[in-house]
Amino acid sequence: MPAHTHSHGPVTGPDGEVLPPDPLATARRRRAVRLMLVVLVPIGIATLVGLVALWPQSEQTAAQQAAASFLPPGTTYPQGTIASLEPFECAEATGNAPAQTCARAVMVVAEGESAGEYVQVELPPEVVTEGVEVGDELVLSRDPGIETGSPSYAFRDFPRGTPIVVLAIAFTAIVGAVARLRGLLALLGLGFAFAVLLTFMLPGLLDGGSPIWVSLVGSSTIMFVVLYLAHGFSARTTTALLGTLFGLALSAVLGAASVAAARLTGFSSEEAVTLLQFDPTLDFSGLVLAAMVVAGLGILNDVTITQASAVWQLHEASPRAGWLELFRRGMAIGRDHIASTVYTIVFAYAGASLPLLLLFELYQRPFWTTLTGTEVGEQVIGTLVAGISLVLAVPVTTLIGALVATAASSATPAEEPAPAPAARAAAAAAPGPSTASGQAVRRPGAHPAGRRPADPPPRGEPSGGAPRPRDPR
C-alpha cells in the first residue's frame, strides 16, 4: 500500500527514510487552496476595509476622560513593606456575623518619589484575614496631594507579579517543549490577538463604534493571522478558517437576535454600572453581544481545526472517496468532539459565575426566577448562543472540507503518477525472502518471472520430456 502524505511532517518509509511527497496529493491540496481562496480573498479585503473604517478616531473617548478625572492626576502605585502591625476591631458582632478586625500598618515605601519613607495605612478586614504579617509586601496607592500639599497613601492590593511571571515562564517553556515550534507560534499569535483587542476592539467600543461590526472585524483579523501563523498555510488551515468565520458570523447574528428578544440591558455586573457612570451613551446591550462573539473565538478555533484535519486525513487515506462518504466519516469524529466541547462551554461559564450562583443559593429564590433573571439569564443566553454556533460549525467545516477535497481531486489527473527512477531501481534490487543459508525460497505455486506454467501432461505420461523407465519386474 503506498504511503500517503501527512500534513504534520514528512512521509517516511519502513526504514525511516524520508520519501518524496505524493505528487497527486500535493496537486489536490494546491487545487483545494485555490478554490477556497476564491471565498477567502473577498472576506480578507472586507476585513481590511472594516479595520480602516472602524479604527477609533478620537485620541481620548468620553469614558476615558471621565475615568481620568475620577482619579487624582499623578496617582502612582508603589510597593511597600510592613514594618509594624496594630490590629483593632472595626465592626462588632451582629447576629450570626462575627466581629471584624482591621489593622493599622506602618510601611516602608520601596519605590517612587517617597522611597524609604515611613507611612501609615489602614488595612481592611478582608486583608487582615489573609494573615498579613510584618515583613509582607503590599501595593499602595499614592495621591500626590496637589490640593493639600502632602501625599497620602492607602492600601491598593497584594503584589502578584512574581507568581504571574513564574507561571508565564513555565507555561511558555512547557508549550515549547511539548508542541515545539508550533506551540511557540501559537503563543506569538496569542500576543497578536491581545494587540488587536487592546488597540482596536476596546478603543473602538469605547469610541461608540457598532459593537457587532467591531467585534466581527476584530475577530476576523485575529483568526486570519492566528490560524495561518500557528498551523501554516495549507488546505487544512484554510478549511478551518472558513468554518471559524462561519461560526463567528452565526454567533453575531444569533446573539443580536437573542439580546434583542431577551432584552438584555448589559447591567448585570458592577463593572457595567461603573462604565455607565463614565459614559452613559455606550451601547451596553451591544457590549453583551460583542462579549458573546469574542468568547467563542478559542473554542471555535479548536473545533474547526480538528475537523478540517480529520477530513483531509480521511481524504488522503481514501482519495477515491466521494464527498458524501468523507462527510459521513468526518461527522463520526465531529460528534465525539461536540460531546466533549459542550461540557467545556457550560462549565467555563459556570466557573466564571460561581460567586453569583452561591449568592442565589443563599437567597433561596425560585429556580425559574433565578434562571431568567438579568444576572444568570445573560450567562445562560451567552452559553446557548456559543453552543449553537459551535455545534453548527462542525458540520459546516466538515462539509466545506469534503466538497473542496473532492472538487480538487476531480480537477487533477486520475492516473497514479509513474514511480520515480530511483524507486524503480530500488524495487528491482530488493531481494526476495530467503532462508538462513541465503538461498531464495519460492512460494508454493510460484513460477519464475516471465514464465508461464506448462499445461499438465495427460494421465499416464511423465511430466518431463524424458521417457518413463520400464518396470524391471
pLDDT, greater one: 436 or 150: 150
What residue has cell string 458582632? Answer: 93
Mean of pLDDT over the chain: 80
Q: What is the pLDDT of residue 245?
A: 92
Instruction: For residue 297, give the C-alpha cell.
Output: 473565538
What percentage of the chain exceeds 70 in pLDDT? Answer: 79
pLDDT for res 9 = 45
Q: Does residue 54 carry a pLDDT above 70?
A: yes
How many whole angstroms separate alpha carbon 324 and alpha carbon 402?
A: 7
pLDDT band for position 444 (cuts 50, 70, 90): very low
Give the ranges where 84-129 is alpha helix by DSSP (H).
125-128
Give the whole-angstrom CA distance, residue 238 versus residue 30: 11
CB proximity list for 289: less than 8 A, separation 6 or greater? 211, 212, 215, 252, 255, 256, 259
- pLDDT of 442: 47
Contact predicate 24/409, CB 8 Å: no
User: Can you tell me whether residue 51 is helix, strand or coil?
Assistant: helix
**Mean pLDDT, to the nearest integer, of 43-51?**
93
What is the pLDDT confidence band of residue 268, given thresholds at 50, 70 and 90?
Answer: confident
Q: Is 61 helix (H, G, I), strand (E, B) or coil?
A: coil
Whole-structure pTM value: 0.71
Residues 3, 19 contacting (CB under 8 angstroms): yes
Q: How far apart are CA 192 and CA 213, in angstroms?
A: 19
Domains for the chain: give ranges and CATH numbers. 23-57+163-410 (no CATH), 74-157 (2.40.50)
Q: Is residue 458 predicted with pLDDT exceeding 50?
A: no
Q: Which three cell numbers stand for residue 430?
A: 530488493
- pLDDT score of 222: 94
Residues 109/140, Cβ–Cβ less than 8 Å: yes
pLDDT band at 178 (very low <50, low <70, confident <90, very high): very high
Least confident of 41-45, 185-189, 446-450: 446-450
Secondary structure class of 204 (helix, strand, coil): helix
pLDDT digits (tens, 9 = 90+) for 306-340: 898 889 888 888 888 888 999 999 998 888 888 88
Give the residue with greater pLDDT, 60 vs 216. 216
Mean pLDDT on 441-450: 45
Higher-confidence position of 428 and 28:
28
Which is nearest to 291 in space by CA: 194, 387, 383, 191?
383
Predicted local distance difference test score (pLDDT) of residue 140? 94
SS3 364: coil
- The region of weakest confidence among 128-137, 139-148, 175-184 is 139-148
Angle at 387 between CA 199 and CA 360, to 5 degrees: 90
pLDDT surpasses 70 at 465: no
pLDDT at 151: 87
If phi > 0 it is left, if psi is from -120 to 50 it is alpha, else beta; for residue 140 that is beta
pLDDT at 225: 93
DSSP 8-state secondary structure symbol assigned to residue 105: E
Does position 135 have pLDDT exceeding 50, yes or no? yes
State the burial class of residue 292 (Cβ atoms within 10 Å of its Cβ: 0-12, 13-18, 19+).
buried
Range with the largest mean pLDDT of 86-90, 407-411, 427-431, 463-467? 86-90
Secondary structure letter of residue 197 according to DSSP:
I
- Binning pLDDT at 50, 70 and 90, where does residue 418 land? very low
CA distance 144 to 364: 47
